[in-house]
């Protein structure tokens, strides 16, 4: 049960049931036979997320990781019983939401069964006075936002994957939304969790704004990527619908000048919902579309803001943004932000590199403090080019009073098909080395999964030992999503 199973293995064996009959019967007793899927088609459907290498597997008809079966629980109690059975028989358990992760966080790299949480998609409670929404984790992201909107509120969490990810899938990798500077990251939005632990017992936190009652247990599970348990309920903050929305955009003389402007705004305690800052190469794509040829010629970096909320606050944010950008040499570039907003869920460009015959690429997110952000950009870019990347550009899209993230997007074409994966990992390694060289974080919101596993032990190694000990204590049999998060 804990061995990697490929499509070739399954076809060679000629059978479809990859689980011992007695275990299958026990699982069926929990959820009913019709809520267990064991066909080859089902296994293929759950064989991958959207880690970039997956596209190459698909294109060469390779299916390297198949789960043994897929099970569809409808309640926390059913999840508990499933986990108890898996714990008894040492069966790896992989919780799946929208399967939209980019870091191979849910692939069955050690065999096991997939617990698809999407049947658990209901609103449990909406407390309007406290502005808290409690939902099951399998609710799809846009569905969650729609449920908030139907009640006159917004969820405030808008990852690019909102229409394919689930609420549980936001929490598991410690994700962020594009409006995060105002509304916070998922760890700021979540106020309570219910988690089925690896022995099948239930862990629940009290959804209060804050408590001085020991370490924050919610935060131990936010970002645990299914390695410490399965999230079965989430309580999240919601916000009133904004009264006013404004978009403003600027061309900046350098990437560093844009970073300075962002910092200036945040240290004045203003938090525009959207702050996105692009290097000159990435900004040039948008500037060309918008007809700002002078900005392209001048190699301007691009910076835009989305301000929303109470009208007077929006007006103040726009005023301060304008002052800060002007102070650092910015030129107004109207339409820049709105252009992004109209295409905010479009990830088609990421596919372009993979549609080329020997093309590859990725979007790597990482984080650092203000004083290192520009250096991290340059360090990563230079190392990635040296490792064989054809084009590298980047932007920051989530900021804090002390720093921000970087999203380094790269593409390359290998000499031949056999070299594609080698090239991918060479560039990936260069990027990670660049981050570590300046003391940054190797992941900002995608998580670690299998994809960044090789580097996680080098990022704050002494702290990682604590995570390892937590894993060993909670999951001594290592059945929960084994191999992910470097565990």
Partner 1 sequence: MRIAEMRAILENTAIDHVYYRTYDPMARCIGREYTPHRSAHIALLVGAGKLGWDASGVAESMYWSINSKIEQVWNLDCSGPLFDTDTGEWNRPARADVVDAGLAPDFVKEIEANVKAKGNAFGVDDDKGAVGKADVLYVVDDSTRAFNPEIAEAVQKVLKDQGVSFAVLAKGTDGWGLYDLGLFDLAEEKAKEFAGFVKESGAKTVVANCPAVVYSLREWYPTMGLDLGAEVLHTTEYFAQLGVKGSYSGTVTFHDPSYLCRYLGVVDAPRTVLGNVSGLELVECFFTKDKANPSGPLLGFIDEEYIDLIAGRCAEELALAASTVITAGPASKRNLMRVAEAANINVMDIAELLAG
Binding mask 154-183 for partner 1 (x = CB under 8 A): ------xxxxx-------------------
Distance of alpha carbon 320 from alpha carbon 184, whole angstroms: 20
Among 13, 59, 288, 371, binds partner 1 (CB under 8 A): 59
Least distance between partner 1 and beta carbon 126 (Å) = 13
Distance of alpha carbon 347 from alpha carbon 354, whole angstroms: 13
Least distance between partner 1 and beta carbon 33 (Å) = 13
Among 3, 150, 319, 371, binds partner 1 (CB under 8 A): 150
Residue 28 binds partner 1 (CB under 8 A)? no
Encoded tokens for 13: 């064996």
Distance of alpha carbon 222 from alpha carbon 137, whole angstroms: 13
Helix (H) or strand (E) holding 362: strand 359-369
Residue 9 binds partner 1 (CB under 8 A)? no
> 365: closest CA among 275, 284, 447, 280?
447
Strand pairing partners for 249?
A: 304
Residue 146 binds partner 1 (CB under 8 A)? yes
Least distance between partner 1 and beta carbon 74 (Å) = 8
Q: What is the dihedral of CA 232, 238, 241, 243, to 10 degrees?
A: -150
Least distance between partner 1 and beta carbon 231 (Å) = 16
Encoded tokens for 464: 């990682």
Q: Which parts of 64-83 interact with partner 1 (CB under 8 A)?
A: 70, 72
Distance of alpha carbon 106 from alpha carbon 100, whole angstroms: 9
Is there a contact between 360 and 56 (Cβ–Cβ < 8 Å)? yes
Residue 34 binds partner 1 (CB under 8 A)? yes
Residue 288 binds partner 1 (CB under 8 A)? no
**List of E strands, 216-258:** 230-237, 239-240, 244-252
Among 79, 91, 103, 116, binds partner 1 (CB under 8 A): 116
Burial 168-199 (b: 16+ CB within 10 A, else e): bbbbbbbbbbbbbbbbbbbeebbbbbbbbbbb
Encoded tokens for 308: 């929303």
Distance of alpha carbon 75 from alpha carbon 433, whole angstroms: 43
Q: Please, which residue, 236 or 314, has the CB nearer to partner 1?
A: 236
Q: Which parts of 385-424 interact with partner 1 (CB under 8 A)?
A: none
Encoded tokens for 372: 């290192």
Helix (H) or strand (E) holding 345: none
Is there a contact between 187 and 219 (Cβ–Cβ < 8 Å)? yes
Residue 49 binds partner 1 (CB under 8 A)? no
Residue 274 binds partner 1 (CB under 8 A)? no
Alpha helices in 228-309 (DSSP H): 255-266, 280-289, 293-297
> 124: closest CA among 138, 141, 109?
138
Among 1, 96, 132, 261, binds partner 1 (CB under 8 A): 96
Q: Please, which residue, 124 or 320, has the CB nearer to partner 1?
A: 124
> 444: closest CA among 238, 259, 177?
177
Q: Please, which residue, 265 or 363, has the CB nearer to partner 1?
A: 363
Among 19, 24, 54, 91, binds partner 1 (CB under 8 A): 54
Least distance between partner 1 and beta carbon 345 (Å) = 4
Q: Please, which residue, 150 or 386, has the CB nearer to partner 1?
A: 150
Q: Please, which residue, 165 or 235, has the CB nearer to partner 1?
A: 165
DSSP one-letter code for 242: P
Least distance between partner 1 and beta carbon 358 (Å) = 15
Q: Which parts of 314-343 interact with partner 1 (CB under 8 A)?
A: 343
Least distance between partner 1 and beta carbon 128 (Å) = 16
Among 24, 42, 379, 408, binds partner 1 (CB under 8 A): 42
Q: Please, which residue, 14 or 215, has the CB nearer to partner 1?
A: 14
3-state secondary structure (DSSP) of residue 249? strand
Among 93, 107, 118, 290, binds partner 1 (CB under 8 A): 118
Alpha helices in 273-367 (DSSP H): 280-289, 293-297, 311-327, 336-342, 348-355
Q: Please, which residue, 142 or 369, has the CB nearer to partner 1?
A: 142
Residue 55 binds partner 1 (CB under 8 A)? yes
Least distance between partner 1 and beta carbon 45 (Å) = 4
> 444: closest CA among 187, 168, 144, 165?
187
Q: Please, which residue, 7 or 316, has the CB nearer to partner 1?
A: 7
**Which one of the spans 52-60, 189-197, 256-264, 398-406 is the region binding partner 1 (CB under 8 A)?**
52-60
All residues at 6 or more sequence positions from 265 whose CB lies less than 8 Å from its CB, including other chains = 272, 275, 305, 317, 320, 321, 324
Least distance between partner 1 and beta carbon 381 (Å) = 23
- Where on the chain is the footprint of partner 1 (CB under 8 A)? 7, 11, 16, 34, 37-42, 44-46, 50, 54-55, 58-59, 61, 63, 70, 72, 96, 98-100, 116, 118-121, 138, 140-143, 146, 149-150, 160-164, 343, 345-348, 350-351, 354-355
């Amino acid at each position: 049960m804990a061995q990697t199973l490929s499509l070739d293995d399954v076809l060679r064996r000629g059978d479809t049931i990859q689980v011992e009959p007695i275990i299958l019967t026990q699982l069926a007793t929990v959820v009913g036979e019709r809520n267990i899927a064991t066909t080859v088609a089902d296994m293929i459907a759950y064989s991958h997320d959207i880690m970039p290498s997956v596209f190459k597997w698909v294109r060469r008809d390779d299916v390297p990781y198949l789960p043994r079966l897929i099970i569809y629980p409808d309640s926390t109690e059913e999840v508990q019983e499933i986990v108890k059975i898996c714990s008894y028989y040492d069966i790896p358990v992989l919780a799946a939401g929208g399967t939209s992760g980019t870091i191979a966080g849910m692939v069955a790299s050690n065999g096991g069964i997939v617990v698809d949480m999407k049947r658990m998609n209901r609103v449990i409670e909406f407390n309007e006075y406290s502005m808290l929404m409690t939902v099951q984790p399998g609710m799809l992201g846009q569905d969650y936002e729609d449920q908030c909107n139907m009640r006159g509120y917004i969820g405030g969490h808008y990852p690019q994957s909102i229409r394919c990810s689930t609420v549980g899938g936001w929490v598991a990798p410690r994700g962020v939304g594009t409006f995060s500077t105002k509304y916070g990251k998922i760890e700021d939005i979540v106020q309570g969790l219910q988690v089925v632990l690896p022995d099948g017992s239930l862990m629940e936190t009290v959804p209060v704004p804050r408590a001085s009652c020991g370490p924050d247990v919610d935060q131990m599970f936010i970002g645990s990527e299914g390695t410490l348990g399965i999230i079965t309920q989430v309580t999240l903050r919601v916000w009133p619908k904004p009264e006013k929305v404004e978009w403003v955009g600027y061309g900046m003389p350098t990437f560093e000048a844009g970073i300075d402007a962002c910092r200036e705004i945040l240290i004045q305690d203003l938090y525009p919902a959207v702050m996105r800052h692009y290097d000159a190469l990435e900004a040039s794509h948008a500037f060309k579309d918008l007809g700002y040829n002078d900005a392209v010629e001048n190699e301007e970096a691009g910076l835009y803001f989305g301000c929303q909320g109470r009208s007077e606050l929006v007006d103040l944010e726009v005023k301060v943004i304008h002052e800060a950008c002007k102070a650092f040499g910015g030129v107004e570039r109207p339409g820049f932000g709105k252009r992004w907003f109209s295409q905010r869920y479009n990830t088609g460009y990421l596919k372009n590199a993979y549609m080329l015959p020997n093309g590859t690429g990725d979007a790597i997110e990482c984080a650092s403090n203000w004083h290192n952000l520009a250096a991290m950009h340059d360090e990563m870019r230079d190392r990635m080019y040296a490792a064989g990347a054809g084009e590298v550009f980047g932007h920051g899209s989530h900021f804090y009073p002390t720093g921000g993230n970087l999203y380094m997007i790269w593409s390359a074409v290998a000499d031949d098909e056999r070299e594609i994966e080698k090239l991918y990992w060479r560039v990936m390694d260069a990027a990670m080395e660049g981050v570590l060289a300046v003391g940054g974080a190797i992941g900002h919101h995608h998580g670690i999964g299998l994809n960044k596993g090789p580097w996680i032990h080098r990022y704050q190694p002494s702290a990682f030992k604590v995570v390892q000990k937590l894993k060993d204590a909670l999951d001594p049999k290592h059945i929960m999503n084994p191999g992910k998060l470097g565990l």
